[in-house]
Amino acid sequence: MKNVARLAAAAALASVVAGHSIFAEFEVNGVSAGKENGLRLPTYDGPIEDVTSSAVACNGGPNPLVKFSPNVIDVPAGAEITARWIHTLDTDWRTGLIIDASHKGPIMVYLSKVSNAATAAIPSGGWFKIHEEGYDSASGKWAVDRLIADRGYKFRIPSCVAPGNYLMRVELIALHAAGNYPGAQLYMECAQINITGGGSLSPATVNFPGAYSGSDPGIKFNLYQSPINYVIPGPRPVTCGGTQPQTTTAARTTTPAATTRATTTATTTTRAATTTGGGSGGGQQAAWGQCGGISWTGPTSCVSGYTCKEINAYYSQCAP
């Protein structure tokens, strides 16, 4: 009966693109701001692939922004944010598809200060990174693997960020087809937040477009090599005077000088690796899902109307 349920689910997904995802809700210290609240959203869950387009800042372009929340969400500096990506806006993050497991890659968060987050034009400048996580060779997990396992992705607003309104750019990059450029799939939406408390951080900033190029090793990247040495694109995240702004729980008892060095890398590695199911054996893969490739053990046939097409030796997907 599991298979029946899976087939029914696959059939239901056949009319939409199964691989994609959309950042559509967030929590502040464990309290949801409400689905689609405080966000600028497209209804289509597709990626941005052109890192030189203006849509690389807060989506739009091929996925027009059509859902504007009128609300700005208060976020205390130092707060823990949980970002919820869901496959489509109709998905329930508790039970539904988050993003296809093939879509491995890093997760990053940037802020840009604006006067009124509800009404500001999407800024091309002023962006600074507050969090990043790529690949952890110790656990063999990408940030996206943790997002899928946890049905949400946690990060912290650095306590030293200056108070005020910001657009918060929460970004996931799927690398399954990133061997050539364009190919990396950037999934980001921008939240409208008002940081309260905080400090007086005055960070160096980058532009979107501008922070990434098609030749960046973090954008043009072969996911299927071994060992994996992944360089997260963009600048390194800001730090607050040696205080690690990430969600690591390890107590730091090092000297100030050593701490300053240690905090320049932000990948958290303290979580135990929880595994997610990979391929599921039989059944038919949904539209755009993975259906083949070296070490793939999941379904190799596709739902009606789709055939399994090879993208490279490691990844085939169900295409019309």
Ligand X SMILES: *[C@@H]1O[C@H](CO)[C@@H](O)[C@H](O)[C@H]1NC(C)=O
Binding site for Cu ion (CB under 5 A): 19-20
Rounded to whole angstroms, how far apart are CA atoms 225 and 227? 6
Quote the least distance from Cβ 72 to ligand X, whole Å: 5
- From residue 114, alpha-carbon distances to 72, 155, 168, 194, 310 in Å are 12, 21, 10, 10, 44
Give Cα separations from 231 to 17, 27, 276 (angstroms): 28, 28, 24
Instruction: Report the nearest approach of ligand X to the CB of residue 109 (Å).
Output: 20
Smallest distance, ligand X to C-beta of residue 208, A? 23
- Report the residue number, 34 or 210, with the smaller CB distance to ligand X: 34
Q: CB neighbours (10 Å) of residue 109?
A: 22
C-beta closer to ligand X: residue 163 or 209 = 163
With CB under 5 to 8 Å by kind, the binding choice for 137 among Cu ion, ligand X, none is none
Residue 59 binding ligand X, by CB under 6 A: no
Contact 111, 79 (CB under 8 A): no
Cα–Cα distance between 47 and 97 in angstroms, integer? 16
72 binds, among Cu ion, ligand X, none (CB under 5 to 8 A by kind): ligand X
Per-residue DSSP letter, 283:
S
Nearer to ligand X, 72 or 108 (CB): 72
239 closest CA partner among 137, 170, 160, 135: 160
- Backbone dihedral angles phi then psi of residue 142, each to the nearest 5 degrees: -90, 160
Own/partner contacts of 296-303, CB < 8 Å, gap of 24 or more, are 303/10, 303/11, 303/13, 303/14
User: Does 194 interact with ligand X (rule: CB under 6 A)?
Assistant: yes
When CB distances are held under 5 to 8 angstroms depending on the partner's kind, the choice from Cu ion, ligand X, none that residue 165 binds is ligand X
Least distance to Cu ion from the beta carbon of 255, Å? 45
- Give the residue with the Cβ less far from ligand X, 98 or 114: 114
How far is 13 from 196, CA to CA, in rounded Å? 41
194: partner contacted, choices Cu ion, ligand X, none (Cβ within 5-8 A by kind): ligand X
Distance between CA atoms of residues 63 and 207, nearest Å:
20
The three-state secondary structure class of 7 is helix
> Which of ligand X, Cu ion, none does residue 79 bind (CB under 5 to 8 Å by kind)?
none
Contact with ligand X (CB under 6 A): which of 24, 72, 167, 168?
A: 72
Residues 276-305 that bind ligand X (CB under 6 A): none
- CB of residue 165 to ligand X, shortest distance in Å: 5
Please identify the residue of the shown chain whose CB is closest to the bound ligand X.
194
The yes or no reply on residue 196 touching ligand X (CB under 6 A) is: yes
Q: State the residues that interact with ligand X by CB under 6 A.
A: 72, 74, 165, 194, 196
